Chains A and B, each alone.
Chain A
């Protein structure tokens, strides 16, 4: 469902170029990409999410070729098909946990429809997912800045899952969690993702969780930075 072929990219004015050889992700597959900091992780993710425009080669998700889309269409595509979990600071502080989750459907009609069809409404879906990921009703009612980091990351996961996007990108979402909590978080995320056959692209510099995934790939095996 995700395919990258002979892609090149350079930041405007930069003296180096990123070259990405073949990389592919199957539907429902959970892939761990190992990338130490400075290896071009952020660049890879901004190319996959369509925030940055590559120079040559191709990248396609769900048979949609990114180079044919306008910036606006890419933003819409991201809203419709990709859930994203940040390393930390995932939540907008002035919104409730439920509202933060509902934000995942805010810019996507498709995801709003899917969530409504499955749960009755976006809000109900948000709360159901939060409970499924282990948040109590009391925690859901709290202002989000009073939640623990682990709870905040679960809210972020619920947002990425709501409306069943085909791909979830997780950018080291467990780095701020302790060991036991990490595994629990990953397992809960997988459980929900498997329900919808959602693919997961998990990027981290920490290999302790790697064996939980279907496949492990080192970023350096398909992505290099070359000085021009």
Chain B
């Protein structure tokens, strides 16, 4: 029988009180692991929202505001910038690609984004990942709509469905545009970013929603639907002769990106990808000093970091609090071990009589603390994965976010190692006390 067996049996002898102590520690560790995971996930999804974009340009406002509405789809642009400025800036030589964004409308609580097909080609998130279609394809006609994964899931929309978009960002809008239905042609794969909660329409259609202009081309495409608008925009007319039949329902040729963009007066913001990141600073300065109208350009990475410094404080505070909970639980173990010690002096004297040295007694008691914290840690890992699995099922059905069952991060591992170390260190106190007893009592049994 080894010392370890002896410790284990001694612990099992005091099963109920040790079990409660162990569970308390395990729960506190579970909490710590979950909070750490949530912290990392929140930070990752925050930083992963946009990537590969060198500059975001909007009308002059706060840089956080610009980031929030353009990338997180939180809040509204207070000012728009003229489409002319967009064309001017995007024509610069250092610009590789640009994505125009028009925001401010909503559909059943989800924000509606006017953009063009460059969005689906160039928008990147996480580790420079492109957007992917889980079903369907990008815009081909003015009345096409591409949904974020969460929108499709929550509103039960499928390819081919007709939906009606309203003006204004509220959940309920009295100003419905029943006369401009859109057709769902694409559903994006989940990204875990605000894209999942966005409804994408061609930029040119934003003006249609507002009822100001209506390119004639859309009118002709939608002849089979209840359309009676009579706007004329003949600069698209030559395209209707295309014989390409990519959309089997409308059987009309796909429009070019320029046609999908149209000629709006204003847009809310645009994302820029540059040929080389070294142009970013120079271009940012140029845009800030843009003569025609006051503009603001931000580097999303930099602004994200600034914003996180504010948001991240709460996350860190939560982690510190849960760390304190673990320490309190370990103190509970210490109390338990110390309290049981006086009842165990007999046990210690017997062990001394068969030749256990005071150091062995110390090791024995230290082992008990190590065993308790190790068991608690293993239990906590089990609890943690149990919670993740349960939460994944729940979150999966509610929000479409997929919590992944991944191995513990290195930081989580080091947290666990730190806890075991701390627990064992705490265990040294009763162990030292037992060592003193072993020396002073010798073979005298003190009950």
A51 and B442 contacting across the interface, CB-CB below 8 Å: yes
Q: Would A42 and B355 be within 8 Å (CB), given that A93-B13, A94-B9 are in contact?
A: no
Q: Is A84 an interface residue (CB 8 A)?
A: yes
Q: Which of A52, A80, A88, A90 contacts B355 (CB 8 A)?
A: A80
* Least Cβ–Cβ distance between B12 and chain A, in angstroms: 7
A79–B356 alpha-carbon span in the complex (Å): 8
In the complex, which residue of chain B has the Cβ closest to the Cβ of A87? B445
Q: CB < 8 Å: which of B12, B354, B356, B360 contacts A94?
A: B12
Nearest CB in chain B to that of A123: its residue? B1
Nearest-CB distance from A47 to chain B (Å)?
Answer: 10
Q: What's the interface size class on A, roughly?
A: 20 to 34
Q: Does B353 reach chain A (CB closer than 8 Å)?
A: yes
Interface residues of B in 307-355 (CB under 8 A from A): 346-347, 349-355
Asked whether A103 and B354 contact (CB < 8 A) given A89-B346, A94-B10, the answer is yes
- Complexed CA–CA distance, A95 and B10 (Å): 8
Contact A95 B354 (CB under 8 A): no
Main secondary structure of the interface of B (DSSP, over half): helix
In the bound complex, how far is the Cα of B348 from the Cα of A51, in angstroms?
Answer: 13
Complex interface: chain B residues within 8 A of A75 (CB): 352, 355-358, 360
What are 16 A-B residue pairs whose CB atoms fall within 8 Å in the complex? Answer: A46-B442, A46-B443, A75-B352, A75-B356, A84-B353, A84-B443, A86-B349, A89-B350, A92-B347, A92-B350, A94-B9, A94-B12, A94-B13, A103-B1, A104-B354, A106-B356
B444 at the interface (CB under 8 A from A): yes
B442 touches A52 (CB 8 A): yes
Q: When the two chains form the complex, which single residue of B1, B351, B356, B443 contacts A45, counting CB atoms closer than 8 Å? A: B443
Which B residues are CB-close (under 8 A) to A226?
A: none
A78 contacts B by Cβ under 8 Å:
yes
Are A79 and B447 in contact, CB atoms less than 8 angstroms apart?
A: no
Q: Of A46, A89, A95, which contacts B445 at CB under 8 A?
A: A89
From B1, B349, B443, B445, A99 is in contact (CB under 8 Å) with: B1
B: residues with CB less than 8 A from A are: 1, 9-10, 12-13, 346-347, 349-360, 442-445, 447
B359 closest partner in A (C-beta): A72
A102 within 8 A of B: yes
Q: Nearest-CB distance from B7 to chain A (Å)?
A: 11
A-B contact count (CB 8 A): 75
A84-B443, A90-B350, A94-B13 are known; give 15 further A-B pairs, CB within 8 A.
A45-B443, A51-B443, A52-B442, A75-B355, A75-B357, A75-B360, A86-B353, A86-B445, A89-B445, A92-B347, A92-B350, A94-B9, A94-B10, A94-B12, A95-B9
User: B356 touching A107 by the CB < 8 A rule?
Assistant: yes
A90 to B351: give the CA distance in the assembly, Å: 10
A49 at the interface (CB under 8 A from B): yes
CA distance A89 to B443 in the complex (A): 12
Chain B neighbourhood of A107, CB < 8 A = 354-356, 360
Residues on A with C-beta less than 8 A from B443 are: 42, 45-46, 49, 51, 84, 86, 171
B435 to chain A, nearest CB (A): 12
Asked if A84 contacts B354 (CB within 8 A), the reply is: yes
Residue contact A42 to B346, C-beta cutoff 8 Å: no
Q: A72-B359, A94-B9, A94-B10 are in contact. Are A42 and B444 (CB under 8 A)?
A: yes
Give every chain B residue within 8 A of A99 (Cβ-Cβ). Answer: 1
- Residue among A52, A78, A84, A102 making CB contact with B1, cutoff 8 Å: A102
CB contacts (< 8 Å) of A71 on chain B: these are 357-358
Closest 3 interchain pairs by CB? A79-B355, A94-B13, A107-B355
User: A67 interface residue, CB < 8 Å from B?
Assistant: no
A51 vs B352: C-alpha distance when bound (angstroms): 9
Inter-chain CA distance A86–B444, complex, in Å, is: 9
Nearest CB of B to A145, in Å: 10
Determine whether the beta carbon of B350 is less than 8 Å from that of A86: yes
**Does A182 lie at the interface of the complex (its beta carbon under 8 Å from any beta carbon of B)?**
no
Q: Are A106 and B1 in contact (CB under 8 A)?
A: yes
- B181 vs chain A, min Cβ distance (A): 77
Q: In the assembled complex, which residues on chain B have CB atoms less than 8 Å from the CB atom of A154?
A: none
Is A159 engaged at the interface, CB distance under 8 Å to the other chain? yes
| Neighbouring B residues of A167 by C-beta, 8 Å | none
Chain B residues near A80 (CB, 8 Å)? 355
A114 interface contact, C-beta 8 A? no
The smallest beta-carbon distance between A62 and chain B, in angstroms, is: 15
Nearest to B444 among chain A residues (CB) is A42
Taking a contact as CB atoms closer than 8 A, the residue among A42, A46, A106, A171 that contacts B354 in the complex is A106
Distance in angstroms from B414 CB to nearest chain A CB is: 35
Q: Does A76 contact B (CB under 8 A)?
A: yes
Max chain A Cβ within 10 angstroms of own Cβ: one of B12, B352, B357, B443: B443
Cβ of A57 to closest chain B Cβ, rounded Å? 19
Q: Is A33 an interface residue, CB under 8 A from the partner?
A: no
Residues in chain B near residue A51, CB distance under 8 A: 352, 442-443
| Interface presence of A108 (CB below 8 A) | yes
Q: Given the complex, which residues of A lie within 8 Å of B10, measured CB to CB?
A: 94
Which residues of B have CB within 8 Å of A59? none
Query: Does A201 count as interface, using CB distance less than 8 angstroms?
Result: no
A102 CA / B442 CA spacing, docked (Å): 21
